[in-house]
């Protein structure tokens, strides 16, 4: 029972990172039906910004987290403006290939700029371990889980309670009708990219603090797993993306706990296939009929 509790704590900490990343995928897809494969690399850039802000600028943890969110939000808007907006009326495969190209550009550009070697993330906070019923929980794990939950709650509040959030929901349902009632499509899409990229930037700082190691290719695998989490939860659904992230995190740590760490990625994709066979639209997704 203690082992189960320990792995549950570890899985929730890791799953909160995947949940933050999955939110960016699901929001962008819900608005413009684009799978932004460069999203994982924005997460990588958030981690590097946190690294330099802590080491070179001597920010504290909160300042590093907030500044990473702002920098990544601006970067997301810039990428949308230059890479995706000109292709908005092109076939979806064109935008998808462009997203893959942007991903490789960010990865290789960062490797050329700072080098491909991994580097240790500054320990912004002293590590304190708490023991409860035989379960070890560090203050870093608690901080990651609480911060991620607060950010997810804030995002849900923005989407449900603000004017821009209502515009996002309107555009996701019918972009043409939204424009007819006065909603600025470009501003709404840019705001969506900014929100999703800010969440990715926060996840990058949190994962650097958790694993104490970052590198220019660190966004590849977590980015794909976050996309899997968004699909499992029902892509286009914010609560679904959050739930999918926690499912992937708990599943991954559980597989490692039973000594099958070499197969942790394979198990994640196997579960994805099983869930989609049973619920093709994901846990919170809805099947929609389209007229042709």
CATH number at residue 37: 1.10.3470
257, part of any domain: yes
The alpha carbon dihedral of 23, 24, 27, 29 has a sign of negative
99, part of any domain: yes
For residue 281, the model assigns a pLDDT of 84
143, part of any domain: yes
Tally the domains of the chain: 1
Pairing label, strands 129-132, 135-138: antiparallel
Residues in the chain: 292
pLDDT tens for residues 44-79?
Answer: 999 999 999 999 999 999 999 999 999 999 999 999
For residue 103, the model assigns a pLDDT of 95
pLDDT tens for residues 227-238?
Answer: 999 999 988 888
193, part of any domain: yes
Mean pLDDT of 264-270: 88
Longest pairwise C-alpha distance within the chain: 60
pLDDT at 34 over 80: yes
For residue 292, the model assigns a pLDDT of 45
Mean pLDDT of 106-112: 95
Top pLDDT among 134 and 272 is at 272
Q: Which structural domain range is residue 223 located in?
A: 2-278
254, part of any domain: yes
CA-CA distance, 277 to 63, in Å (whole number)? 44
Q: What does pLDDT average to over the chain?
A: 91
2 pLDDT band (50/70/90 cuts)? confident
283, part of any domain: no
Encoded tokens for 67: 């500044």
Query: Which three-class secondary structure string do you get for the chain?
Result: CHHHHHHHHHHHHHHHHHHHHHHHHHHHHHHHCCCCCCHHHHHHHHHHHHHHHHHCCCCCHHHHHHHHHHHHHHHHHHHHHHHHHHHCCCCHHHHHHHHHHHHHHHHHHHHHHHCCCCEECCCCCCCCEEEECCEEEEHHHHHHHHHHHHHHHHHHHHHHHCHHHHHHHHHHHCHHHHHHCCCCHHHHHHHHHHHHHHHHHHHHHHHHHHHCEECCCCCHHHHHHHHHHHHHHCCCCHHHHHHHHHHHHHHHHHHHHCCCHHHHHHHHHHHHHHHHHHCCCCCCCCCCCCCC
For residue 250, the model assigns a pLDDT of 93
pTM of the predicted model as reported, rounded to 2 decimal places? 0.92
Most confident among 121-125, 197-201, 236-240, 281-285 (mean pLDDT): 197-201
């Amino acid at each position: 029972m203690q082992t189960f509790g320990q792995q549950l704590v570890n899985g929730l900490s890791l799953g909160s990172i995947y949940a933050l990343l999955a939110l960016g995928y699901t929001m962008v897809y819900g608005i413009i039906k684009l799978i932004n494969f460069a999203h994982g690399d924005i997460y990588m850039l958030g981690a590097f910004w946190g690294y330099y802000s802590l080491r070179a600028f001597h920010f504290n943890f909160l300042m590093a987290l907030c500044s990473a969110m702002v920098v990544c939000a601006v970067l997301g808007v810039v990428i949308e403006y230059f890479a995706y907006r000109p292709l908005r009326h092109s076939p979806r495969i064109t935008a998808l290939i462009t997203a893959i190209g942007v991903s490789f550009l960010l990865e290789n550009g960062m490797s050329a700029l700072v080098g491909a070697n991994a580097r240790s993330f500054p320990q912004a906070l002293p590590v304190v371990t708490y023991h409860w019923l035989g379960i070890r929980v560090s203050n870093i794990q608690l901080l990651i889980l609480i911060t991620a939950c607060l950010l997810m709650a804030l995002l849900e509040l923005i989407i449900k309670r603000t004017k821009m959030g209502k515009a996002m929901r309107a555009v996701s349902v019918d972009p043409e009708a939204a424009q007819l009632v006065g909603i600025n499509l470009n501003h709404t899409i840019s705001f969506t990219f900014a929100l999703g990229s800010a969440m990715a930037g926060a996840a990058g700082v949190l994962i650097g603090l958790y694993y104490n190691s970052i590198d220019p290719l660190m966004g590849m695998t977590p980015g794909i797993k976050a996309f899997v989490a968004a699909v499992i939860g029902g892509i286009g659904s914010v609560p679904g993306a959050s739930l999918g992230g926690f499912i992937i995190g708990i599943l991954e740590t559980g597989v490692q706990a039973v000594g099958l760490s070499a197969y942790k990625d394979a198990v994640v994709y196997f579960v994805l296939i099983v869930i989609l066979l049973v619920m093709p639209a994901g846990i919170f997704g809805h099947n929609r009929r389209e007229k042709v």
